[in-house]
Amino acid sequence: MKDKEVTFSSICEFFRQNKKGLLFIISGPSGVGKGTIRKEILQIFPELKYSVSANTRSPRKDEQEGIDYYFVTKEKFESMIRENKFAEWAIVHGEYKGTPIDFLIEQRKKGSDIILEIDVQGARQIKEKFPEGIFIFIAPPSWKDLVERLQKRGTETKKDLEKRLDDAFNEIKQIGNYDYIVINDELEMAVKEVESIIIAERCKVANYEIRNFRDRH
Ligand code: ADP
Ligand code: 5GP
């Protein structure tokens, strides 16, 4: 019996230590509420590592360097592209945005779960490099809600706002590339849905290093 107890305990310990680091990708049209949901999710799961993007637009008044974005010049961004510093990059609503590759590699080595908040072009590139990623599309309850949210946020000029809405139309057609859709109608419910996806994915057997387990036990 003692032998079984020791073996069983070592198997339990093995599971505790052999969960793969997961990559959660949140995307969807501008103004749908991605940033709002992501901030709530990081409160719920403080151990999740947020991948801070590089970005060439100017900071909004409440945005902080290194927390919301790395704000860089166009020249700096272009040199980073040449030096292969990005896991993906895209021109989003007329500005460069990109996911620094070093952070992803570092955190994945440590087995941490990472969350990315990027546009659909970036999500497509991440899917090519990391097909095991978990892709979550945040959709608005209606076009009217999307327009109102963007207008209410008040961070874009009229021309920029039109560009974002124009892009939204193409973005929503890419839903087929995603694993999950969360409709952000009531914020609380949308956060609950993303939270549930994270919890469920963390419980999947496929997200454990079962191959190592078979070799060792
Ligand atoms: P994104 O990051 O997708 O561009 P934001 O998170 O900045 O969008 O949200 C855009 C605006 O919509 C913000 O003013 C935010 O407070 C508001 N918002 C987010 N979710 C909801 C919701 N469920 N209902 C109403 N307004 C929302
Ligand atoms: P905003 O300018 O409103 O902060 O962001 C505009 C859009 O750029 C959002 O859809 C946001 O998800 C996306 N975005 C932010 N960071 C990245 C990134 O690193 N790569 C890509 N492809 N898109 C990003």
Phi (first) and psi of residue 23, to 5 degrees: -120, 110
Mean pLDDT confidence for 131-146: 96
Task: List ligand 2's pocket residues with C-beta within 6 A.
Answer: 27, 30, 34, 53, 57, 88, 90, 92-93, 97-99, 117-119, 121-122
How confident is residue 19, by pLDDT bands cut at 50, 70 and 90?
confident
Is residue 1 domain-resident? no
Instruction: Give the ligand 2 atom nearest the CA of 155.
Output: 3
Tell me if 116 is assigned to some domain.
Answer: yes
What is the number of structural domains in the chain?
1
CATH number for the domain including 173?
A: 3.40.50.300
Residue with the smallest CA separation from ligand 2 atom 10 is 119
Average model confidence (pLDDT) across the chain: 93
What pLDDT does residue 213 have?
64
* pLDDT at 217 exceeding the cut of 80: no
Of 8, 19, 7, which is closest to residue 108 (Cα–Cα)?
19
What would the 3-class secondary structure string for 32-60 be?
CCHHHHHHHHHHHCCCCEECCEEECCCCC
Give per-residue pLDDT as tens, 72-127: 999 999 999 999 999 999 999 889 999 999 999 999 989 999 999 999 999 999 99
Is residue 9 included in any domain, yes or no?
no
Q: Is residue 13 part of a domain?
A: no
Provide the token pair at 14. Answer: 């093995």
Residue 138 CA, ligand 1 centroid: distance in Å: 11
Q: Given this model, what pLDDT does residue 139 score?
A: 97
For helices 158-172 and 143-153, the axis angle rounded to 10 degrees is 150
Q: Quick check: 33 and 190 in contact, CB under 8 A? A: yes
3-state secondary structure of 1: coil
pLDDT of 153 reads 87
What atom of ligand 2 comes closest to residue 125's alpha carbon?
A: 22
Q: Please check the confidence at residue 41 and state whether its pLDDT lies above 70.
A: yes
Contact in structure between 80 and 86 (CB atoms under 8 Å): yes
CA quadruple 24, 28, 33, 39: dihedral, nearest 10: 20
**What does the pLDDT average to over 22-38?**
96
| Residue 127 included in any domain | yes
Task: Please report whether residue 6 resides in a domain.
Answer: no
Position 102, amino acid:
D
Q: What is the DSSP letter of 31?
A: T
**Residue found by looking up tokens 């207008």 in the block:** 151
Where are the alpha helices (H) located in the chain, listed in sequence order? 2-17, 34-44, 74-82, 101-110, 120-129, 143-153, 158-172, 187-203, 210-216
pLDDT > 90: what percent of the chain?
75
pLDDT for the residue 14? 83
User: Considering the domain boundaries, does residue 5 fall inside one?
Assistant: no
Q: Is residue 11 part of a domain?
A: no
- Which structural domain range is residue 109 located in? 18-216
